[in-house]
Amino acid sequence: MDIILFEPEIPPNTGNIARLSAGLGVRLNLVGPLGFSIADKDLKRAGLDYWPFVDLRVWPDWKSFRAAWEGGRIIATSARSGEHFCRYVAEEGDGLLFGPETRGLPDELTDAADRVYVVPLRPGVRSINLSTTVGFFMGIAMSRLRADEASRA
């Protein structure tokens, strides 16, 4: 399972997601152009001392990432439309794709994804924090995948 952040813009969000990635043992892909430097102090601060545990890959652009992708399905997220996020059934090898905080994923990426999921929000609420959204999806994914692992043990 991979977390894929397409053109992330806010360093503390990416740092929090890196920390989650380290804790769960999930690869984090940052697809540029990035809205910050990897050396950004806010990024490092949010990731605390977990950076050595992050399996981090940085890609200059989407084309480079897709050319190298060896995983399974690309599961896109959207603030606008898609299946309810609680219906997501994780599979080993999934790449969970999240868009930039201010714009979300462009249509060409959601259109090309294997599935698209949405976290429905109350009217008038535009979106929730990116790292919270990643946490929702990783919670669902890990509960299924780790439960399957536990049942085989």
Please tell me the CATH code under which domain 2-152 is placed: 3.40.1280.10
Report domain extents, the chain. Answer: 2-152
Cis status, amide bond into 33, omega within 30 of 0: yes
Question: Alpha-carbon distance 146 to 142, whole Å?
Answer: 5
Per-residue pLDDT, 115: 97
113-143 tens-digit pLDDT: 999 999 998 999 888 999 999 999 999 999 9
Which of the 8 DSSP states describes residue 12?
H
Per-residue pLDDT, 6: 98
User: Tokens in use for 74?
Assistant: 């690309």
pTM score over 0.85: yes
83-99 tens-digit pLDDT: 999 999 999 999 999 99
